[in-house]
Amino acid sequence: MCASVSHRDKTMSVARKKHTTPVSKPAREIDEHIVEILSDSGEGAQKCGQSFGAISARLGYGIWTVEIIPAEIQPPARSVDGASGNRIRLANRRITNGGDKADLAVAFNEQVLLGRLRANELKPESIILLEDKWRHSDDPAIAESYAAVHEELVERGFAVHEVPMETECLKIVSDPRKGKNMFVLGLLSNIYSLDLAAAHDQIRFIFGKKGELVIAANQKLLDAGYQWAEDNLDIKFKIQ
């Protein structure tokens, strides 16, 4: 049984606001996109998705978020049935559901992504951002699994971008497991041309009770993800 999507859908739609974002490469104008953020339980994909949705709503987009919950209770790490995360549909108008299949997926490992693929939740040729640490795993079985899934994705026509999430997060925090979600929030903020100041404000809102050091570290992770996307990805969208 593959990972399921909960029925606890949430909707938000606010009036359009003018906003600016630093852009150094052209953005393709689109009217909507569906994004999925996937991880093992406890890695923060849901918080990342909720934050991405909140920022988008504050900037005036119509959004709908859907929690992605594991098909098993307490599934093992790197499990096909263990995907935890969020689906976010954002658009230039009011929307009332989570849509059909995802245009872009971010995965913290290839197994949770494989579960969504088998459940037919991704559009053909959709964009995939995949944590690449597993390619270099000391466990031959894990490295082999990653390589096999990556090869399958490429052969099926998905636009796969390997992202060194852990490597980049380790430059800022000692425990990347607690930082990848904010790094990914930075990636998505860049890809969808979201105002970076609004993303900083969202982090302050999330971590406000934990003090300035925690806020600053998470804002650095956000900035690192934003800059990595700017420097290494050839994809950028603008919801219009």
Q: What is the pLDDT of residues 4-27, one digit of tens each?
A: 333 334 433 333 333 345 556 899
What SS3 class is residue 56? helix
Place of tokens 């307490």: 74
Q: How many domains would you assign to the chain? A: 1
Cα–Cα distance, 3 to 85 (Å, whole number): 10
Q: Specify the pLDDT at position 13.
A: 36
* pLDDT tens per residue, range 25-78: 899 999 999 999 999 998 999 999 999 999 999 999 999 999 999 877 788 999
Q: 83: pLDDT confidence band, cut at 50, 70 and 90? A: very high
Q: What is the pLDDT averaged over residues 129-158?
A: 97
Residue 175: pLDDT above 70?
Answer: yes
Residue 83 lies in a domain: yes
Q: What is the CATH number of the domain that holds 224?
A: 3.40.920.10
What sign for the dihedral angle of Cα 87, 129, 163, 186? negative
Q: What is the pLDDT averaged over residues 88-92?
A: 98
Q: Specify the pLDDT at position 20.
A: 45
Strand ranges inside 3-53, DSSP E: 4-5, 10-13, 28-30, 32-39
Residue 125 lies in a domain: yes
Residue 19 lies in a domain: no
* pLDDT tens per residue, range 100-111: 999 999 999 999
Enclosing domain of residue 36: 4-11+25-234
Q: What pairs with residue 89 in β-bridges?
A: 34, 64
* pLDDT tens per residue, range 180-239: 999 999 999 999 999 999 999 999 999 999 999 999 999 999 999 999 999 999 999 999
Residue 153 lies in a domain: yes
Q: Specify the pLDDT at position 15.
A: 34
* pLDDT tens per residue, range 114-129: 999 999 999 999 999 9
Residue 82: pLDDT above 80?
Answer: yes
Residue 34 lies in a domain: yes
Q: Specify the pLDDT at position 16.
A: 35
Indicate yes or no: pTM above 0.75: yes
Residue 96: pLDDT above 80?
Answer: yes
Cα–Cα distance, 169 to 222 (Å, whole number): 10
Residue 154 lies in a domain: yes
Residue 17 lies in a domain: no
- For the chain, the first-to-last Cα distance in angstroms comes to 37
Q: Specify the pLDDT at position 9.
A: 42
Q: Specify the pLDDT at position 22.
A: 54
Residue 20 lies in a domain: no
Q: Specify the pLDDT at position 121.
A: 97
Q: Specify the pLDDT at position 18.
A: 37
